[in-house]
Amino acid sequence: MNNYFDSMFARKEFLARLIVHSLQTTSGWLELACAVMIMLGTYWLSLKILSVVSKHTQQQKNIRFPMLHHLLSRLLWPILLFICTIIAIVVWRDSTGESVLWLQITVFAARWLLMIRIIMAILHNAIPNNLFNDYYERSLSTFLWVCFVLWLTSLDTFIIRLLKSLALPIGSTSLSLYTVITGSIIVGIAIIIAMWLSRITEQRILKAEKLDVNLRYVLVKIIKTLLVVIAVLIALPMVGINLTILSVFGGALGVGLGLGLQKIASNYVSGFIILADHSVRPGDRLNINNFTGYVTKITARFVVLRSSDGSEALIPNDTFVSNTVINDSYSSKIMSTNLTMQVAYNTNLPQALEILKEAAAKQARVCDDPKPNSFVTGFSDSGINLYVNYWIHDPENGFMSINSAILMEIWNRFKEVGIEFSFPKQEIRILNDAEDPIIYDTMPKPVNNVETKPTYPDPLPTELNVSSSYRSEQQTHHDQQ
């Protein structure tokens, strides 16, 4: 029985000659048609099953294990193809007694497709979407399918021998190019698995509301670092690399930190410091270098600040340790804001001040403690300056909407009680007096003791005079004709 299944999954030698021979026989064409029908049938069946499952999941608002649901949806067709093809191979051999070729190639393809989709699902969950996009997924899938063709045609043996013959001398030892490539691949796979596990752990830790927010981020950073280090320590011996080589790497890293990497190390350590001393937390409102925003993310190297207009600033972690940072949410999340306005001089000021406080207190976002307050701040040329101050408990939602709602309420209340807003007023007086110095200087002086009367320009004709004169001239011209 073991030999039976070993031969089922054994790689065929001289595949090209076997394919040509299969296409020259009737049974070969029947086997190819059977393989194609199995692929199309299992693909159609997988689509039907996924449509039923999607209708069921749409009725549920939250999927408990989204990663597992995504993985099963990607693996359904390869699993069905693999199982149905194995059944077809058993039936074909028992009924005809002939060896199989196309069905065995289909089994290999289903197994390889299963492996590729598992790798892609892990990469999608381990690497952020902005770093692993569709282009990289297609490129990696193409590379893996090329590897499958090389393995199927036995060309991989020739390539492996060539890579092993190319050795790189390193001191007293030498590393083959094959060892370097396989070591890089294994270390990369180990790191990706570590990142995947750290991301799953991060999601679980960040949902633990009983823990402090900063403590959650500290635990996430420590776990991610430990998993990556453990993955490297496990992967290196698997490819035959002695761990003593890490001592040389550690010395080189120390020299690098002393020469040019101290800034990176400083940012990394500062990230743990600002999380441990609770000076900066996710959701805090910060003002750094005239940029005001809310903390949306704290990474190993920088802190992300997002302003109200959507722009984001990446602030290095050591900035929060060495420079002055204004944290509006350090001791309390609530923030104070105010509005100013001007009313006419005939306003009932106690009534106006009370309306300002009531309009602010009516809004749901305004805090009850401390209560809104209003004041008279001064008397200007056009009216009386009023000021209302209030505190809101969700400043991250912006101030424009709450200010607009309060102003609309004040406008409606002022209209009801007859309070007027002031507007700029100017009074202009035209003096035509002989004692006026401007007119006196322009008046004509007496000649030979004879007083002359001042002459003024004739006034401009009014609109009525101009239109009347125009009509009389038109009428005279008409009469002459």
CATH number at residue 275: 2.30.30.60
* Residue 67 pLDDT > 50: yes
253 and 287: one domain?
A: yes
What's the pLDDT tens digit per position in 241-289?
666 666 666 666 666 655 566 777 778 788 878 877 778 888 888 888 8
Domain boundary among 358, 383, 417: 417
Whether the CB-CB separation of 38 and 85 falls below 8 Å is answered with yes
CATH code where residue 350 lies? 3.30.70.100
Whole-prediction pTM value? Answer: 0.51
Domain boundary among 125, 153, 181: 153
- What is the rounded (10 degree) CA torsion for 107, 108, 113, 114? 70
Whether the CB-CB separation of 25 and 101 falls below 8 Å is answered with no
Q: Residue 261 belongs to what domain range?
A: 242-331
* Residue 406 pLDDT > 90: yes
Q: Token pair of 219, please?
A: 């635990």
What's the pLDDT tens digit per position in 214-252?
778 778 888 888 888 888 888 777 766 666 666 666 666
346 and 311: one domain?
A: no
319 and 344: one domain?
A: no
52 and 17: one domain?
A: yes
Q: How far apart are CA 271 and CA 282, in angstroms?
A: 13
Give me the number of domains the chain comprises.
Answer: 3
Which has the higher per-residue pLDDT, 337 or 215?
337
367 and 270: one domain?
A: no
How high is the pLDDT of residue 66? 65
Confirm whether 168 is domain-assigned. Answer: no
How high is the pLDDT of residue 476? 47
Confirm whether 105 is domain-assigned. Answer: yes
* Identity of the amino acid at 213: V
Whether the CB-CB separation of 146 and 114 falls below 8 Å is answered with no
- Residue 176 pLDDT level (bands cut at 50, 70, 90): confident
Measuring CA to CA, which residue among 140, 141, 135, 124 is closest to residue 69? 124
Confirm whether 190 is domain-assigned. Answer: no
Domain boundary among 273, 304, 331: 331
- Residue 28 pLDDT level (bands cut at 50, 70, 90): confident
398 and 311: one domain?
A: no
The length of the chain is 481
Q: What angle do CA 294, 317, 299 make, to 5 degrees?
A: 70
Confirm whether 101 is domain-assigned. Answer: yes
Confirm whether 208 is domain-assigned. Answer: no
5 and 146: one domain?
A: yes
Tabulate helix, strand, coil % of the chain (nearest 5).
Answer: 60, 15, 30
What's the pLDDT tens digit per position in 429-448?
776 655 555 555 555 555 55
Please provide the average confidence, as pLDDT, over all residues in the chain: 77
Confirm whether 438 is domain-assigned. Answer: no
277 and 291: one domain?
A: yes
Confirm whether 226 is domain-assigned. Answer: no
263 and 283: one domain?
A: yes
What's the pLDDT tens digit per position in 96-147?
777 778 888 888 888 888 888 887 777 776 666 555 666 777 777 788 878 8
90 and 104: one domain?
A: yes
* Identity of the amino acid at 331: S
6 and 148: one domain?
A: yes
Q: 374: which strand partners?
A: 388
Confirm whether 253 is domain-assigned. Answer: yes
21 and 82: one domain?
A: yes
